[in-house]
């Protein structure tokens, strides 16, 4: 996925929450914060919960619990630590502080990528691992060679997993993570489905020499070299991306076309919200597959919070097909943010609308 990052500042700006335009469509999920745990589910009822370090912590680590919506889906659990030295592998000891149960594993091998060390808890011990964590206050992660452990907070874990159970209709059943009961697995409904969206392939033609008549000029802060960008759709339409602002680490782009000599703007509901005066995408870029336009609205310059989304061009509008969000700026990798909306996209035949 294309991930534009403008590391031009470190101060945090508030991000508009998913607001009224999306709230009317119940398919879009929302984030819920319970203590130091955050959880969100998408339109297909796949859920992700993340347990983080306390807000004042100097180091970065977290636990990720992800589960699909089907009755047979088991939780996938990952332990993640940020590593300044970008090491490729590390042994990590695990202990629970404030608990009265023993973990089914006391060490893990974590593999490194992009400064994050990551290890998966095996499915054979995942249930026992969660049960043990529920009894404690922190999961202490001790990296080989480091003097101090990194504590991942377990405060709010029970409430976050109960929320996940409720969203997936598992509460009171044998498949629940926390809210267990006697209801059989057959009581879990079949996961919802959504038909794929047919999208136009887009080709990045490059910067245009002059912005077509009737389209807006560059906005405040946009550099002189930020010319309008031209994209050609599979049906022959031309879409123009125009820089409308540049502020710190976020740049706003509006998208327009000229239809029969008449300029027409494409609308993107609740992406800028009250924070940015732009009806477009933040830090926009065309994905490598040419099927989606992506955005990465950073909550701060470190890029560890904010929102990502992907939009497919149908020939008449841009439709959102993916949404992830992280409201807590505590070092969680963009790859692990809870997904709040997901829809497959298939390419339209060339020349068709």
Task: Write out the two tokens for 56.
Answer: 């004042």
d(CA 190, CA 184): 14
pTM over 0.85: yes
DSSP symbol at 8: -
Q: Quick one: tokens of 230?
A: 């031209």
CB contact at 8 A, 328 and 52: yes
DSSP-based three-state secondary structure for 254: strand
- Structure tokens, 240: 């123009």
Find the mean pLDDT for residues 322-345.
97
pLDDT at position 277 is 64
Residue whose structure tokens are 């339209």: 348
Q: What is the arithmetic mean of pLDDT over 131-160?
A: 94
In percent, the amount of the chain with pLDDT more than 70 equals 90
What is residue 272's predicted lDDT score, i.e. its pLDDT? 42
The vertex-181 CA angle with 62 and 28, nearest 5°, equals 50
Find the angle CA(144)-CA(147)-CA(149) to the nearest 5 degrees: 75
Average pLDDT over residues 139-152: 90
Domains of the chain in sequence order: 28-187 (2.60.40.1880), 197-347 (no CATH)
Gap between the Cα atoms of 27 and 283, Å rounded: 25
CA atoms of 285 and 2, how far apart (whole Å): 6
Over 18-81, what HEC string results?
A: CCHHHHCCCCCCCEEEECCEEEEECCCCCEEEEEECCCCCCCCEEEEEEECCCCCCCCEEEEEE
- Token representation of residue 32: 């819920």
Distance CA 154, CA 144 (A): 22
pLDDT tens figures, 110-138: 999 989 999 999 999 999 999 999 999 99
Q: Residue 322: pLDDT band by 50, 70, 90 thresholds?
A: very high
| CA distances for 54 relative to 99, 142, 211, 335, angstroms | 18, 17, 49, 20
| Pair 33, 327: CB distance under 8 Å | yes
Residue 272 and residue 16: Cα distance in Å, rounded?
7
More confident residue, 94 or 25: 94
Top pLDDT among 17 and 345 is at 345
Cβ atoms of 117 and 80 closer than 8 Å: yes
Residues 69/167, Cβ–Cβ less than 8 Å: no
> Whats the size of the chain, residue-wise?
353
103-111: long-range pairs with CB below 8 Å, 24+: 103/128, 103/129, 103/132, 103/133, 104/128, 104/129, 104/132, 105/129, 108/79, 110/79, 110/80, 110/81
Are 16 and 275 spatial neighbours (Cβ–Cβ below 8 Å)?
yes
Q: Read off the pLDDT band of 308 (50, 70, 90).
A: very high
- pLDDT one-digit tens code per residue, 1-50: 443 332 323 233 333 333 323 333 447 899 999 999 999 999 999 999 99
In this prediction, residues 165-189 reach a mean pLDDT of 97
User: Mean pLDDT throughout 81-89?
Assistant: 87
Q: What tokens appear for 17 in the block?
A: 């929450």
Measured CA to CA, the distance from residue 51 to residue 330 in angstroms comes to 10
Mean pLDDT is lowest, of 12-16, 103-107, 245-249, for: 12-16
Q: Could you give phi then psi for residue 167, rounded to 5 degrees?
A: -65, -35
pLDDT higher than 80, residue 321? yes
Highest mean pLDDT among 172-181, 221-230, 262-271: 172-181
Counting Cα atoms < 13 Å in the Cβ hemisphere of 348 gives 20
- 3-state SS, 305-348, equals CEEEEEEEECCCCEEEEEEEEECCCCCCCHHHCCEEEECCEEEC
């Amino acid at each position: 996925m294309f991930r534009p990052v403008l590391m031009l500042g470190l101060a945090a700006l508030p991000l508009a929450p998913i607001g009224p335009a999306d709230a009317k469509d119940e398919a879009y999920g929302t984030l819920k914060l319970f203590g130091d745990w955050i959880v969100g589910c998408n339109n297909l009822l796949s859920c992700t919960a993340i347990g983080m370090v306390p807000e004042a912590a100097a180091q970065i680590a977290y636990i990720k619990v992800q589960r699909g919506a089907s009755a047979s889906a088991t939780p996938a659990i990952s332990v993640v630590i940020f590593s300044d030295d970008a090491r490729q592998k590390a042994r990590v000891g695990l202990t629970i502080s404030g608990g009265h149960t023993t973990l089914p594993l006391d060490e893990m091998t974590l593999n490194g990528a992009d400064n994050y060390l990551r290890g998966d808890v095996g499915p054979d011990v995942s249930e026992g691992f969660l049960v043990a964590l529920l009894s404690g206050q922190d999961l202490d992660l001790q990296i080989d060679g480091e003097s101090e452990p990194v504590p991942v907070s377990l405060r709010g874990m029970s409430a976050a997993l109960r929320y996940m159970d409720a969203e997936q209709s598992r509460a009171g059943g044998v498949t629940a993570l926390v809210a267990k009961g006697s209801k059989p697995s057959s009581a879990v409904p079949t996961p919802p489905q959504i038909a794929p969206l047919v999208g136009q392939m887009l080709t990045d033609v490059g910067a245009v020499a002059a912005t077509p008549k009737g389209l807006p000029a560059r906005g405040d802060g946009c550099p002189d070299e930020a010319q309008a960008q031209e994209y050609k759709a599979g049906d022959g339409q031309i879409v123009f991306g125009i820089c409308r602002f540049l502020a710190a680490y976020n740049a706003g782009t509006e998208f327009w076309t000229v239809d029969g000599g008449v300029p027409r703007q494409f609308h993107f509901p609740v992406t800028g919200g009250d924070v940015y005066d732009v009806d477009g995408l933040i830090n926009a870029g065309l994905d490598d597959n040419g099927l989606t336009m992506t955005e990465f609205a950073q909550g701060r310059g470190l890029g560890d919070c904010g929102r990502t989304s992907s939009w497919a061009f149908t020939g008449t509008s841009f439709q959102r097909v993916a949404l992830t969000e992280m409201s807590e700026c505590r070092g969680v990798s963009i790859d692990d943010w809870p997904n709040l909306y997901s829809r497959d996209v298939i390419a339209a035949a060339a020349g068709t609308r």
